Amino acid sequence: MIALILGGIFLLGVCIVIHELGHMWMGRLVGVRAEIFSFGYGRGIWKKKIGDTTYQITAIPLGGYVKFYGDDMQDADNKVPGGFFSAPPLLRIIPVLGGPLFNLILGFFIFLGLSAFSGLPPAKVQLWEEMGTQSPAYRAGLANGDSILSIDGRPIQSFQDIQKTVMLSGGKDLTVIYERAGERKETVVKPDLDSAGRGSVGLRVPGERFIEVDFPFADAWMARIMKLFGQPVNADSSLRALAYLDDGDVILSVQGERVSDPLALQELLGRHHGQEVEIRVRRQSLPWLAPWFTEETTVTVPTKGEYRLELTNIVDTKYGKPIGDFSLVSQSPEHQRALGDLSVGGEPAGSFEYLYGRFSDGSRVPVITGRGDQAKHYEANVQARKTGLIGFRPGSLAMAEYSTASVGASQIVGNAFQSTVDNIMIYPEFVSRLVSGRISFIENTMGPVGMFAVAGVVIKTDLRDYFQLMASISIALMVMNLLPFPVVDGGHIVFFLIEAILKRPLSPAILEGFYRFGFLTLVAFGLFVMYRDLLFVVKL
């Protein structure tokens, strides 16, 4: 836990401190002196003056700031030697640009290090197992191990290229060129869209995958509190594994068999329907400190027997039109109720257990939904399976595969440059999709709290992913600070350009109005984003 918190502090702290260093050093370049450079916010608990600048560390070491001499535009005596407002307006732009510039440089050098010491995840197809035949990639004919060469004419070098291109697709058909067993092929994939307008095609990062035990934060703590008052977790609860498994346990095997996805786990448990099973897990030995101190242990866990009814290759018999696949699971009350309106193979569905007795081997039979005039007639392959549940929310822990090909110095620099450009150019594409209404601005916004939480989660899996995230956030800070909005760097630049053109600054009243509007808007938006971030964190 401590390591995850420190991971979030370090990521955001580095990005912000480098930004402020950019302001200070570029200010020195044009003769603007820094009065204070602070590591963190609030009252300084350690201070040292070097030259004209006082360096301090505060009690809240989150980010930092730089204060220039004579940088208060309301102060009539701000024209001090080496002061910010003593410099001509065009020169003032240099230190303002320094912050975003240094964020860009930080992102580039992180990508350079990643490119030098580790490649990127290859552009290989790895289907999400849980989606099965519902995966857009699967429906388009893609298979595990295929190598993606291009999407809509855009060359694809890594899995991140696939993610970015698909995410901003807006759901339009994508022409995919791929290679299978040395043969070049082409297909068309139509991405699914989530509520935020982000596209996905049912692919995950290539590499070894494990199931991680996860209990919803709020529900788990409520269950623990209720247990203190003598109310143990109900045997039918989705949290019943709390007594046997710890949050963050990584499942290595069940009854000696390796499982990597929830569906495979449910099917394996189905073979031990309702019986106890032995689970080998990798458990954090010091979870309060860091996730990397682990030990392997075996626990015996009771299971709950369930059933799954699969209807595949469904055809509407009235119109002869295929309508895809569908599944019903016995643990869902809604699906239990749906059986009351379902007729399978000429008989009422009855119960999941009854259907298993009839269709455990699978058969193609008539299926009717609804009754009387509302009845709809289909034909489908029907198979009922035994499954099982343990009582936790399965998370996914992927040990990403990275390219290990040896490359020269020029290609290392080229890869870093391309990664930097790609991370910048995603924002114009995002804005174009935003203007067209294809994606939601609010649903795709995350503030410091959300970034902090994501950084803590990512650092558990792989340091390469962590530094990749740091580079992306640093470049995002550059882009956001260059927006022509009051109180951020881009807004200052606009005002200084206006001052240079008019040969005089805007009146203090006008500037104060703009800055007040910008400040209030930013605070209101920040509080709203923080609220959404907190909801996101609680669901982790």
How many Å apart are CA 184 and CA 103, to the nearest integer? 40
Residue with tokens 């034909």: 379
The pTM for the full model equals: 0.80
Confidence (pLDDT) at 122: 86
Could you read off the pLDDT of 54-91 as tens digits, one per residue? Answer: 999 988 777 889 999 988 877 656 678 888 988 999 99
Could you read off the pLDDT of 242-296 as tens digits, one per residue? Answer: 889 988 899 999 999 999 888 899 999 999 999 999 999 999 888 777 778 889 9
Q: Which CATH number fits domain 124-206: 2.30.110.10, 2.30.42.10, 3.30.1490.480, 3.30.70.260?
A: 2.30.42.10
- If you compute the radius of gyration of the chain from its CA atoms, what whole number of angstroms results? 29
Assign residue 107 a region (left: φ > 0; alpha: ψ between -120 and 50; beta: otherwise).
alpha
How many Å apart are CA 300 and CA 244, to the nearest integer? 8
Which positions ≥6 away from 230 have C-beta within 8 Å? none
pLDDT band at 201 (very low <50, low <70, confident <90, very high): very high
Provide, for the chain, the percentages of residues in helix, strand and coil under a 3-state DSSP scheme, each rounded to the nearest 5.
45, 25, 30
Query: Would you give the DSSP letter of residue 120?
Result: P
Amino acid sitting at position 31: G
Mean pLDDT of 359-375: 90
Length of the chain (residues) = 540
- Return the beta strands (E) in 114-270 as ranges: 147-151, 154-155, 174-180, 183-189, 192-193, 199-200, 207-214, 250-254
How many Å apart are CA 280 and CA 386, to the nearest integer? 22
Contact assessment for residue 257 and residue 213, using Cβ atoms and an 8 Å cutoff: no
Mean pLDDT of 474-486: 92
Amino acid sitting at position 207: G
Q: Is 527 exposed, middle or buried (0-12, 13-18, 19+ CB in 10 A)?
A: exposed
Residue with tokens 């450079």: 37
How many Å apart are CA 459 and CA 538, to the nearest integer? 19
pLDDT band at 335 (very low <50, low <70, confident <90, very high): very high
How many Å apart are CA 224 and CA 227, to the nearest integer? 5
How many Å apart are CA 396 and CA 238, to the nearest integer? 17
The closest alpha carbon to 447, from 521, 518, 520, 532, belongs to 532
Q: Show me where the domains of the chain are located.
A: 1-118+443-539, 124-206, 210-396
Percent of the chain at pLDDT exceeding 70:
96
Joined together, the tokens standing for residue 495 give 């005002």
How many Å apart are CA 91 and CA 79, to the nearest integer? 14
Segment among 90-99, 401-410, 414-423 with least mean pLDDT: 401-410
Q: Is the model's pLDDT at 531 over the cut of 60? A: yes
The closest alpha carbon to 74, from 66, 82, 84, belongs to 84
